[in-house]
Structure 1
């Protein structure tokens, strides 16, 4: 029996298009995803780049209104740029309108580093090389920190917070969200209740990329965990292991629940799929070069990547699942088998909306067969 399949969307803006078109395309894809049997439709949060999902809660409301049964959620709210009460109240409103259909995903972006859950001592680990685990490619790690430290990105991201603001510890924020939702939150010794926000069905989903704090917080609080193989394929498997090792049963979950993401492009034949995915490396390069995601390039017009550019994105190209429906499904099945995932979530971006629709349709029908 196959595990459920879900969709992760960034509302990407294609080269030559605009944000309004991207948002309409996202609603259209969500409607189709519901018809094709996907379990969830999640929206990522990004800022100052050529994707239109900068406010997941707003977009979730639009998609929930345009659909009937599919779960809709955030993948994920960047907690470093907001507060626990703001998150719970906004998602509490959504939960009031669409009870039982809203997924509250949270991530560490924008957070200050913490030592609270780190081991007392660290033993340096040797550099790892690309390898495979039962058919799943695990590339050498990419230093995301190098991108985050660029002066341009640091300056732009600083505008997402009030001047001199300091984000609370991520674990504390997630614990506060759980307390607010469950009605047990206290501030300075006094009871404080989120209105709306208290719910019996709205629990945080923690998103993580490594065996660091996110995985351990999700496990310690007994929350579902989403490992981002599509962004950090080098460390996703160890993130899943760390989460399971840290898991403690809670009111939300009696046992661990793992979702793993994958970046995919499917078409009616492998040649077409590889052509559609031909500009993916250029898109990833725009992110890793420090400028932020550009409008999604047209594969018909891009020049080949240089050797230097290719080296910067090779890990992501190697771990994108590209081909016909059978080929993509086989790689998804391998990822599920290796990680033991209870659910998979796919993101599929192409320059043309009709190709993106076709990719999701082919995968859904093949996965269900």
Structure 2
């Protein structure tokens, strides 16, 4: 039976504060544990007025302390902004107090500055047309070329890295983290380093990715579990899953590939109510893709007041078309299609509504409906 897990961005609601968002996260984590979700991951976002999840290790420690059994983790640490040692020490500290519950999810975000710089200079390639694969929409790929030119994007490297700092290759950083955890790290000169806390920590390493590129390759070649991104880059999910499985080599961690797939979800008692609760989502995605940074999540009334242009609609079309919105039965049926087409072993659900109670209720209704009311661990 396919498990359900949660990815939380600690969204700041319109009219609310980061403190409200973080208190909501802790409450939702406790409720998710009651509902039977398998794991509770938090994202890493920066310079976004509408997202409070800027320091995953800190937030994970708070979530772990507020819960008892649910696994907690990152989805994902942006390795381009940190060293391998700093990541191992931070997550090793959380594991020391909550052993055996921590997932360390790693992503390439922050390492692709050169790629995005080139992207900003070039005309985007001709898009692949949208298609439907066994009932699952694979939309036309969104071009990030315009986003790469935004002034806010250029600030990331300035504010998140020391002057002149260069991020190592992603695969090398993953290997350094694994070696520091195992106590086998040696510098090129043969000097040993031992992370305290961190060495010997009972952390599960994960790789997250949006395409069939390096992230999927690294996860497969090292025999690590992999999370493919349908909720932010839905066009690449099948390529990511295929690349991961093709690259997979059995390891001490896994004998076979283990794939998690993410999805944006809003559930309510009926389809109409769910659509109303989800109606601000497009305006929120627009704020991200225009390069302004995620705005506080609007109310349905605030979203309805926005005057949409054709350019606006094109910016968010793939995200709106692949959001799972409706009654428990409607959403569960669509999620089973996502599971079956991708071959996912687990689904990672992310839900954002303006009112916290609606978000909690969405997760509760989905848990009750999924596989006849059982969210397996």
Q: TM-score range by the shorter chain?
A: over 0.9
Match of 1:168 in 2: 168
CA distance in 1: counterparts of 2:47 and 2:2, whole angstroms: 35
- Give 3-state SS (helix, strand or coil) of 2:260's partner: strand
> Cα offset for 1:255?
1.3
> Cα offset for 1:200?
6.0
Question: Are 1:16 and 2:19 an aligned pair?
Answer: no
Match of 2:311 in 1: 308
Aligned length: 360
Q: 1:126 to 1:314 in 2, by over 3 A?
A: closer
| Contact 2:96-2:201 at 8 Å conserved across structures | no
Segment drifting more, 34-43 vs 175-184 = 175-184
Question: Are 1:25 and 2:28 an aligned pair?
Answer: no
Segment drifting more, 250-259 vs 309-318 = 250-259
> Cα offset for 1:237?
1.1
TM-score by length of 2: 0.93
- Give 3-state SS (helix, strand or coil) of 2:137's partner: strand
| Contact 1:147-1:289 at 8 Å conserved across structures | yes
Q: 1:223 to 1:276 in 2, by over 3 A?
A: same
CA distance in 1: counterparts of 2:30 and 2:168, whole angstroms: 37
> Cα offset for 1:148?
2.6
Match of 1:201 in 2: 202
Segment drifting more, 306-315 vs 5-14 = 306-315
- Give 3-state SS (helix, strand or coil) of 1:294's partner: coil
Match of 1:3 in 2: 2
CA distance in 2: counterparts of 1:56 and 1:366, whole angstroms: 30
> Cα offset for 1:205?
0.5
Match of 1:353 among 351, 356, 361: 356
Query: What is the CA deviation profile of residues 274-308 of structure 1, one whole-angstrom value per residue up to 9, with x for unaligned ones?
Result: 01111100000000001010000111232253222
CA distance in 2: counterparts of 1:354 and 1:113, whole angstroms: 38
Match of 1:317 in 2: 320
Match of 1:332 in 2: 335
CA distance in 2: counterparts of 1:11 and 1:27, whole angstroms: 9
Match of 1:119 in 2: none
Match of 2:232 in 1: 231
TM-score by length of 1: 0.95
Gaps of 5+ in 1: 116-123
CA distance in 2: counterparts of 1:203 and 1:357, whole angstroms: 27
> Cα offset for 1:125?
8.4
Match of 1:367 in 2: 370
CA distance in 2: counterparts of 1:133 and 1:40, whole angstroms: 28
| Contact 1:73-1:102 at 8 Å conserved across structures | yes
Match of 2:270 in 1: 269
| Contact 1:84-1:176 at 8 Å conserved across structures | yes
Q: 1:200 to 1:53 in 2, by over 3 A?
A: closer
| Contact 2:6-2:349 at 8 Å conserved across structures | yes
- Give 3-state SS (helix, strand or coil) of 2:129's partner: coil
Question: Are 1:101 and 2:101 an aligned pair?
Answer: yes
Q: How does 1:206-225 map to 2 (within 5 A)?
A: 206-225=207-226
- Give 3-state SS (helix, strand or coil) of 2:301's partner: coil
- Give 3-state SS (helix, strand or coil) of 2:302's partner: coil
Match of 2:300 in 1: 299
| Contact 1:177-1:204 at 8 Å conserved across structures | no
- Give 3-state SS (helix, strand or coil) of 1:300's partner: helix
